[in-house]
Amino acid sequence: MTNWPDDDVILYDGVCIFCSRWIRFVITRDSAHIFRFTPIQSDYGTRLAKAFGIDPNDPDTNAVVHGGVARMKSDAALTVLSLLPGWGWTRVLFAVPKPLRDAIYGVIARNRYRIFGKYETCFVPDSEMRARVLE
């Protein structure tokens, strides 16, 4: 786990349709506006990715910084879900061994473009999201 000065930031692949839907899912449920977002393709996102050892040209994970610590793969997804209203029950999934959780996450991550598709450029967020995007 790596430290980062900004907290509650989600790093995602901005050209990945599945990843963009994940961000929209979070925004619609994040009534307290806890999270901010950055596409890996932005300057800020690229710096963040490199700090975490993620290849910005071939990302295989999203990441979230929470409590000053970067979490990746299944830890990132479960951390975000567990902080959303009504989704706290997902904390029980941390009991599933991390290698198994990350293996399932990896299958989805490696096949996300083939299964869900890819935008030609980063998707353009609506005005509500734009206020929460770090670039």
Q: What is the mean pLDDT of each run of 10 residues along the chain (135 residues)?
A: 72 86 91 91 90 84 86 95 96 97 92 82 64 69
Every domain of the chain and the residues it spans = 9-121
pLDDT of residue 90: 96
Residue at 44: amino acid letter = Y
pLDDT of residue 1: 46
* pTM, entire model: 0.84
pLDDT of residue 35: 94
Contact 22, 78 (CB under 8 A): no
pLDDT digits (tens, 9 = 90+) for 101-121: 999 999 998 888 888 887 766
pLDDT of residue 125: 62
CA-based nearest residue to 15, from 119, 113, 115: 119
